[in-house]
Amino acid sequence: MSLRRILHGIILQLRHCCWCRQAEAMETITFSPPLYKQRYQLVVELVEKLQARKVADLGCARCTLLSRLKFCSCIEVLIGVDTDLELLKENMYRVSPLPGDYLQPRPSPLSVRLYQGSVAVKDPRMLDCDFVSCIELIEHLDAAELARFSEVLFGYMNPAVVVITTPNADFNILFPGVTQFRHCDHRFEWSRSEFQAWCLDIGRTNAYSMEFTGVGVGPAGTETLGFCTQVAIFRRDPSRAKIKMKNSELPYKLVYEAVYPSLQNRKILHDAILNEVIFAAECVRRSFIDIDTGGQSEWRTCRADGEECARAAFSPEVSGPSFGGSPEVAGCPELSWSPEVTKIGAQLHIPVSTFFNNPRIRQLSDSLQQLQEVLQASNRVKLSHCGSSVLYPAGDEN
């Protein structure tokens, strides 16, 4: 085992002890939902309200907030920054695509990047952010870093909206076990007036307005102490977006990058259309079971669970069932069968227009013509000679 890993193990142990002591000291008050969830919820709601496209979480630690933000459909670029390389490596799986992301690709693109770097250092890849969160970060910075951080974030990155959260020292009186700070790695904890003075100074220097709020309400009768976590939401003066001087150096180290599958990618879009068409065709097939009744075939519509729903006489050559309505098949609510579906030999002929009427398929295909082109270009489905119907095995040979 390398010395580096041993040292990292020791640091993790120390951190764990530190967190235990902190938890013991603070266990007098419980918050519901837990405080960290309330902080994340505030950020997620703001991002969605703003429809932010490029979002960064500074001091992202275990990537917990990022793992929630990746579900915001408005975000196209999601960045996490932390100085702790091992922590990023241990947790990068939390922002990687899941099987569900491939089965149901996002409508818009999303790339997630994790950088090892300091918030006190400028990196041009952090420019043009719509939204930046700094959750329980500033109290971990020493005075020199804190000064550089505000210059880098507000003066250089200059994002449209910034959220900063930090412990409210006024509230600490409710934690009798807390003698100095809530966490041993904190360099300071500010009262509300100290925090607000720092924020107002940043706002004046960099043309940001701000709103102060918080999360974590104390017990009844302690309202004058404010929230357990104090929050500042900064908004850039719309007329004061800075002209970005792009430095060519890239001091941050890219630790992880994931490009999520999205429907903006032509191949993924076509695959998604084909998956839906095949799924819908299977629904049609499952909605009919052709049973041989001695020379005269009869269609029987069944639910997927096997329960019989309806019967109809069927002429085996070219016609479909002679009854109207569309019996629902479990798992296939939108398209089970249509009177235009015919069975010729061992194959169902399902008009392409029938698929186009399926809301999910219509959402993915611009037009009937585009749907036809996608089907023609694929070898995953078979089309009739004229290309107007999908030929799908009836699967009733036995």
Task: Single out the segment in contact with ligand SAM by CB under 6 A; choices: 4-12, 18-26, 139-147, 310-318.
Answer: 139-147
Token representation of residue 149: 């951080």
Task: Single out the segment in contact with ligand SAM by CB under 6 A; choices: 75-83, 220-228, 266-274, 368-376.
Answer: 75-83
E-assigned strand segments in 237-371: 253-260, 288-292, 297-302, 308-313, 342-344, 347-351
136 makes contact with ligand SAM (CB under 6 A):
yes
370 makes contact with ligand SAM (CB under 6 A):
no
Rounded CA-CA distance 239/170 in Å is: 36
- Looking at the Cβ atoms of 56 and 273, the one nearer to ligand SAM is 56
- Looking at the Cβ atoms of 83 and 265, the one nearer to ligand SAM is 83
Per DSSP, helices labelled H in 27-138 are: 35-50, 64-69, 85-91, 99-103
Token representation of residue 137: 């970060």
Rounded CA-CA distance 105/27 in Å is: 42
- Looking at the Cβ atoms of 83 and 384, the one nearer to ligand SAM is 83
Q: How far is the CB of 92 from ligand SAM (least distance, A)?
A: 14
152 makes contact with ligand SAM (CB under 6 A):
no
- Looking at the Cβ atoms of 82 and 189, the one nearer to ligand SAM is 82
Token representation of residue 142: 């020493």
Number of H helices and E strands in the chain, helices first, is 11, 15
Q: How far is the CB of 196 from ligand SAM (least distance, A)?
A: 21
* CA atoms within 13 A of residue 91's CA, in its CB half-sphere: 20
Rounded CA-CA distance 176/316 in Å is: 83
Task: Identify residues 85-124 at the interface with ligand SAM (CB under 6 A).
Answer: 87, 118-120
Closest residue to ligand SAM using C-beta atoms: 59
Q: How far is the CB of 388 from ligand SAM (least distance, A)?
A: 56
Task: Single out the segment in contact with ligand SAM by CB under 6 A; choices: 77-85, 168-176, 191-199, 296-304.
Answer: 77-85
48 makes contact with ligand SAM (CB under 6 A):
no
140 makes contact with ligand SAM (CB under 6 A):
yes
Rounded CA-CA distance 317/270 in Å is: 33
Number of CB atoms found within 10 A of residue 80's CB:
29
Near ligand SAM by CB under 6 A: residue from 55, 77, 132, 135: 135
Task: Single out the segment in contact with ligand SAM by CB under 6 A; choices: 45-53, 55-63, 267-275, 298-306.
Answer: 55-63
The footprint of ligand SAM on this chain (CB under 6 A) covers a number of residues equal to 19
* CA atoms within 13 A of residue 190's CA, in its CB half-sphere: 21
69 makes contact with ligand SAM (CB under 6 A):
no
Number of CB atoms found within 10 A of residue 2's CB:
7
59 makes contact with ligand SAM (CB under 6 A):
yes
**CA geometry: angle 208, 211, 216, nearest 5 deg:** 140
Q: How far is the CB of 252 from ligand SAM (least distance, A)?
A: 10
- Looking at the Cβ atoms of 157 and 364, the one nearer to ligand SAM is 157
| 309 CB-near residues (< 8 Å, 6+ apart) | 301, 302, 303, 327
Rounded CA-CA distance 160/120 in Å is: 19
- Looking at the Cβ atoms of 137 and 391, the one nearer to ligand SAM is 137
Rounded CA-CA distance 192/275 in Å is: 55
26 makes contact with ligand SAM (CB under 6 A):
no
CA distances from 301 to 28, 111, 283, 290, 391 (A): 63, 45, 11, 9, 19
Near ligand SAM by CB under 6 A: residue from 145, 194, 282, 328: 145
167 makes contact with ligand SAM (CB under 6 A):
no
Under the rule (CB under 6 A), what is the footprint of ligand SAM?
Answer: 59-61, 64-65, 81-84, 87, 118-120, 135-137, 140-141, 145
